[in-house]
Chain A
């Protein structure tokens, strides 16, 4: 199984600012995923990040709001831009195993004031 780290683990931000979350995997993976989990709810996929190509965004999420970088096979970043209180959530990155199982980072807990 992959070991995934994220930073920051939590942050409190002012509305209108941006935050970049970093995700590091301990092995090379083709696909990385970014999810959002709001309090008391399940995970919602934001986008899939493939190395060497543009990220693929799910319905309701756009690149201008959530730009993603994937510079190599072990690293990705997600930026939450022009934040509002509605962006307060836990943001999780993950990678996929050979049997389609997913391994998650510990999450970034974001609070926007």
Chain B
């Protein structure tokens, strides 16, 4: 079993749709959690950290469920510019483990 598992998608949604990505992790001692965005042929960039209480940044909402070892990312009112691969990242003991990513395509 992989340490971090994501639904690979692809997710193809129309503009304005709401889309949710899920991620599970296997190490219950994991300390920090993040969502990154990676555009084609570019490096990953931090989208947002994920806190136990849940956190929101504009159209993006991240949730963490430690009991179920589950992280989610919700994107509301999708824009064409949201098309990218979204990487779930789990950090423990000085090391970050990346999921394989979920690809999102937002269509007009």
* B43 interface residue per 8 A CB criterion: yes
Contact among A1, A102, A107 for B96, CB-based, below 8 A: A102
* Chain B residues with CB under 8 A of A41: 100
* A112 interface residue per 8 A CB criterion: no
Given contacts A99-B32, A100-B31, A101-B49, contact A48 B98 (CB under 8 A): no
Residue pair A92, B49 in contact (C-beta under 8 Å): no
Count of A residues near B, CB < 8 Å?
19
Residue pair A43, B98 in contact (C-beta under 8 Å): yes
In the bound complex, how far is the Cα of B45 from the Cα of A105, in angstroms? Answer: 10
Find the B residue at minimum CB distance from A50.
B94
Q: Per DSSP, are chain B's interface residues mostly helix, strand or loop, or mixed?
A: strand
* Chain B residues with CB under 8 A of A103: 46
* A104 interface residue per 8 A CB criterion: yes
Residue pair B43, A100 in contact (C-beta under 8 Å): no
* A53 interface residue per 8 A CB criterion: no
Contact among B32, B45, B94 for A104, CB-based, below 8 A: B45
Q: What is the interface of chain A, defined by CB distance below 8 A to chain B?
A: 1, 31, 33, 41-43, 45, 48, 92, 96, 99-107
29 contacts between A and B (CB under 8 A): A1-B46, A33-B96, A41-B100, A42-B87, A42-B98, A42-B99, A43-B44, A43-B87, A43-B98, A45-B95, A45-B96, A48-B94, A48-B95, A92-B43, A92-B44, A99-B32, A99-B49, A100-B32, A101-B46, A102-B44, A102-B46, A102-B89, A102-B96, A103-B46, A104-B44, A104-B45, A105-B43, A106-B42, A107-B42
With A42-B100, A45-B95 already in contact, 13 other A-B pairs whose C-beta atoms are closer than 8 Å: A31-B94, A42-B101, A43-B87, A45-B96, A48-B95, A96-B96, A99-B32, A100-B31, A100-B91, A101-B32, A101-B49, A102-B46, A102-B89
Q: What is the interface of chain B, defined by CB distance below 8 A to chain A?
A: 31-32, 34, 42-46, 49, 87, 89, 91, 94-101
